[in-house]
């Protein structure tokens, strides 16, 4: 089962243009995400540099949906003789991704390393399709 993003306008634009033109569903809180099927699991990698994963990142699973929320607050000051420069950026970012039916919520694992959050969702076992003959007992 492949997961694909629905494009309501049918236009294939680079990500930076999509964000600039607000063509995506969540333009103000966008997290860059990579989704791959690897080693029997759905692996989701999210760019979240400069955050403390213990207090600034939340990962939850509910109703066949993975929700990732991250909060960033960054401020720099440069005080020099005759000048002062201050820059800041902050905000809360959220991404909601559909999961395959049959995912075991308790087996989802998340790991943070070098600014990348990696969430591993074990792929559910294939359910047999078709029919099964049921024997009829005589009474």
Give the pLDDT of residue 80.
85
Q: Which of 128, 111, 131, 129 is nearest to 120 (CA)?
A: 111
Percentage of the chain beyond pLDDT 70 is 75
Domain ranges of the chain: 15-122
Work out the mean pLDDT of the chain and round it to a whole number. 79
Judged against a pLDDT cut of 90, whether residue 66 lies above it is answered with yes
The DSSP element (H or E) to which 53 belongs, if any, is: helix 53-56
CA 54 to each of CA 15, 44, 57, 70: distance values in angstroms, whole numbers, following the listed order: 29, 18, 7, 11
| Residue with the two structure tokens 């989704």 | 35
Percentage of the chain beyond pLDDT 90 is 26
Overall pTM surpassing 0.85 (yes/no): no
Confidence of residue 117 (pLDDT cuts 50, 70, 90): very high
Mind listing the pLDDT tens digit for each residue in 15-60? 556 555 554 444 445 678 899 998 889 999 998 888 889 999 999 9
- Is 128:120 a contact under the CB 8 Å cutoff? no
The fold of 15-122 is: Immunoglobulin-like (2.60.40)
């Amino acid at each position: 089962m492949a997961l694909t993003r629905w494009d309501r306008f049918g236009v294939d634009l680079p990500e930076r243009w999509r964000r600039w033109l607000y063509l995506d569903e969540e333009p103000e809180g966008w997290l860059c995400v990579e989704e791959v099927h690897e080693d029997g699991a759905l692996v989701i990698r999210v760019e979240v540099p400069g955050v403390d994963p213990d207090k600034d990142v939340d990962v939850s699973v509910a109703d066949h949906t993975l929700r990732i929320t991250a909060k960033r607050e960054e401020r720099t000051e440069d005080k020099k003789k005759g000048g002062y420069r201050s820059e800041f950026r902050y905000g809360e970012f959220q991404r909601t991704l559909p999961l395959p039916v049959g995912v075991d919520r308790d087996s989802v694992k998340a790991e943070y390393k070098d600014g990348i959050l990696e969430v591993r969702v074990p792929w559910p076992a294939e359910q047999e399709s078709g029919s099964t003959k049921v024997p009829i007992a005589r009474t």
